[in-house]
Structure 1
Amino acid sequence: MAVVALIVTGVILLAQLLSTKTHSGIRRSGFFGGLIFLAAAAAVFGYAGYLSWQQYQTWQSSELGKLFLPPHQSFGYFIFYVRTRFFISYLLSLAVGLAGLLTAQFLNKRYQERFFETAEPYLLGTALFLSGHPGWILYAVIAGFLSVLVSSFHFWRVRETRRLSFYYLWLPAALFTIMISMWLSALPWLQTLKF
């Protein structure tokens, strides 16, 4: 699943970068951000559904596998298996992504859009979602660190305190997080956070 999240993040980042030349009003709108969020969710859960169907077909074609399907087991067993195997990590990160999206929108509206451009909360939510669980924790640390680093460098270089847009930071940070989480997944403390 991480490979699919990596591909989806890369495609969205590529679309974001290619859209800089055209339709600048559309790409920074909430519509564009919402479309990206929904497309990412559809791609990830569509692939999880495909894997579930493949799992059912595999079990159905095997004599041993048939013991895990009705009438030998309830269909609830299969649903439980595919939910925990393919869906739960991204269902949890979807909840975190939605919480991040709604929190960013709320804070932005409350403080007269001082923090984010219109599409940025959607990019943040998409990045949190695509990072998976427990990758969203690592993503939050990496994105926070990069934000402080870029802001500090900008202040040191320009000597003025104006708001910087991290529009082009959210997805590369997610891409980096997904890539290193594939290698870090073997760490014992990260294993305890997985389902």
Structure 2
Amino acid sequence: MPLLGVLFYFSKTPRFIPEPISQAKIFSTILLTIILPVLVYYLLKTLNKVDSIYLKSTDERKLPLLINSVIIALVITRVFTQTEIEELYYFFVGILLSTLVCFFLAVFKVKASIHMLAASGFFMFAIALSIHFHININGSIALMMILLGAIATSRLHLKAHTYPELIIGSLTGFIPQLLLLKLWL
């Protein structure tokens, strides 16, 4: 979802951002939010810290969420600083807050859907961009709502989550993005 947010931003922003800069930002996002977490997962699997990629128990989720928080903090400090691209900076601050909330929920044995967390956070960011730049992306927002429903349905169908876990995950992704709007909108 972080990469999706970055791609969405660069495709919708009316600002001029030189092509080499946007490509470097996209490459950095791929490297730090996709490739590095996959490598970290295999390291954790080798060290027997996780059983599977599904992270079924709250205890299994703690270390990956903590490591992900460090990675997102790295993205905030090195890739999307506040002075460069403010919207993406606050998008990643929202991701960091959501990840930390999910970590603290796991510490207290509360399982939240990370799929719904990511999708609802991206959804709120897209709505904020629409408002911020005064652009009509109603079709994209409608598609995102359908995808949110599909993700929730699939998580229930696979018996990966319960209704409360989906709601907690959705709110954990949505609320930090919403609260940060007053800082950049």
TM-score range, shorter chain: 0.3 to 0.5
- Give the structure-2-normalised TM-score: 0.40
